[in-house]
Amino acid sequence: MLVFDAHLDLAWNAIDWNRDLMLPVKEIRKRELAEKDVDFKARGRGTVSFPELRRAKVGIFIATLLARLFRPNLMPAIQRYASMNSAYACAIGQMAYYQSLEKDGLLTWIRTAAELDRHIVAWETGESPEPLGFILSMEGADPVLSPHQVEEWYAAGLRIIGPAHYGVSPYAHGTGTVGGLFPQGKPLLKEMQRVGMILDVTHLSDQCFDEALDIYGGPVLASHHNCRALVPDQRQLTDEHIKKLISRGSVIGSALDAWMLTPNWVRGKTQPKDANVSMATYVDHIDRVCQLAGNAHHAAIGTDLDGGFGTEQTPHDLDTIADIQRVPELLRQRGYVEADVRNIMHGNWVRFFRAAWKR
Ligand SMILES: [Zn+2]
């Protein structure tokens, strides 16, 4: 079954982690383990590469630009740049990575409803391998030099911005922080709405979530976000958040990062087997969104795989992203009918973008 994955940091993996995503996952792992100075825990434990995405039938995904300002005491794998100009230049470089793969015929860049429709038909009916489709998103608005630059980014092909990431961005408070939008946050959101840039609420602080939804009237999504009722941490959405998003016609992608799937996870200590976190745990989060909605029109996939973690921090019964193909059967076992399963695996995202781009 075709899968639409709403969150993959592919360019960041290719450039910052220096991973050759053209190789099979097994080969990338082998190379990293062979190198003596392993810089991060996730080295040798990656789960995503282009051959693996094809095996997973992830024919379309949201690909990110991820270039973060340095913030002390926060995840060293992610925080990097001393200035917004550096973050901007890095994001342009990441965009060039996707462009180069499009030139090679491996990827196809989806920017309009017509391109989306064409791609979905090709994947559902095509017999020869079609290119993998991507929609470009920015995780953390640090590379947007000012609200005025949103239009330039849109013209370049960017379609989604998440104003914050872990910690604070120049525009908003993000994961693990308490506070509202910074002075440039409101003009950023206004400009996003004006040019048709979609808002990703994932990683916004609770206060920023509320403020952003009040200010911004355009289409809203949550690309990789789980349920706080199941895992009590601010990184997750409360039931009230989820209901608010549903009322706005949003779609919520569930993430496969173990610390967002199961309570009391301690990064670097808890092991997936010990915490008994499995693909069924993942489906619990999808199911909760459906129960709150009263239908299966708002829950979807947003794996975040290789988003700074590997198999040390994923369900114990996941080896690579290809295991996403076990989700349809797990949903059927819980009584989901075929139309609902298809909506969760890709249909809801396709409908969301079609509507967002026809506005
Ligand atoms: Zn993220």
Q: From ligand 1's centre to the CA of 256, what distance in Å? A: 11
Q: From ligand 1's centre to the CA of 13, what distance in Å? A: 13
- Residue-wise pLDDT for 122-160, tens only, equals 999 876 678 999 999 999 999 999 999 999 999 999 999
Mean pLDDT rounded to a whole number for the chain: 96
- Residue-wise pLDDT for 44-93, tens only, equals 999 999 999 999 999 999 999 999 999 877 777 677 899 999 999 999 99
- Residue-wise pLDDT for 150-205, tens only, equals 999 999 999 999 999 999 999 999 999 999 999 999 999 999 999 999 999 999 99
Q: What is the pLDDT of residue 37?
A: 65
| pLDDT surpassing 80 at residue 38 | no
| pLDDT surpassing 70 at residue 112 | yes
Q: From ligand 1's centre to the CA of 337, what distance in Å? A: 30
User: What is the three-state SS of 226-240?
Assistant: CECCCCCCCCCECHH
pTM of the model: 0.97
Q: From ligand 1's centre to the CA of 8, what distance in Å? A: 9
| pLDDT surpassing 70 at residue 261 | yes
Mean pLDDT along residues 106-131: 92
Residue 321 banded pLDDT, cuts 50, 70, 90: very high
| pLDDT surpassing 80 at residue 274 | yes
Mean pLDDT along residues 266-280: 95
Q: From ligand 1's centre to the CA of 305, what distance in Å? A: 10
Classify 41 as helix, strand or coil: coil
CA distances from 128 to 4, 22, 81, 131, 136 (A): 19, 19, 42, 10, 25
42 token code pair: 């996730």
Query: Which residue intervals of the chain are DSSP H helices?
Result: 10-15, 25-34, 50-55, 84-103, 113-125, 150-156, 185-195, 206-215, 239-247, 279-293, 327-333, 338-342, 348-358
Q: From ligand 1's centre to the CA of 225, what distance in Å? A: 8
State the first-to-last Cα distance of the chain, in angstroms, to the nearest integer.
29
| pLDDT surpassing 80 at residue 107 | yes
Q: What is the pLDDT of residue 281?
A: 98
Percent of the chain at pLDDT > 70 equals 99
| pLDDT surpassing 80 at residue 18 | yes
Q: What is the pLDDT of residue 127?
A: 67
Write the DSSP assignment of 324-351 as a string of letters. GGGHHHHHHHTT--HHHHHIIIIIHHHH
| pLDDT surpassing 70 at residue 109 | yes
Q: What angle do CA 133, 135, 138 make, to 5 degrees?
A: 145
Helix, strand, coil percentages in the chain from 3-state DSSP, rounded to 5: 40, 15, 40
| pLDDT surpassing 90 at residue 359 | no
Q: Alpha-carbon Rg of the chain, whole angstroms?
A: 19
Q: What is the pLDDT of residue 128?
A: 64
Q: From ligand 1's centre to the CA of 137, what distance in Å? A: 12
Report the length, in residues, of the chain.
359
Half-sphere exposure of 304 (CA within 13 A, CB side): 26
Phi and psi at 174, nearest 5°, equal: -120, -160
| pLDDT surpassing 80 at residue 39 | no
Q: What is the pLDDT of residue 1?
A: 93
Q: What angle do CA 298, 256, 159 make, to 5 degrees?
A: 55
Q: From ligand 1's centre to the CA of 181, what distance in Å? A: 19
Higher pLDDT, 317 or 130: 317
Q: From ligand 1's centre to the CA of 128, what distance in Å? A: 33
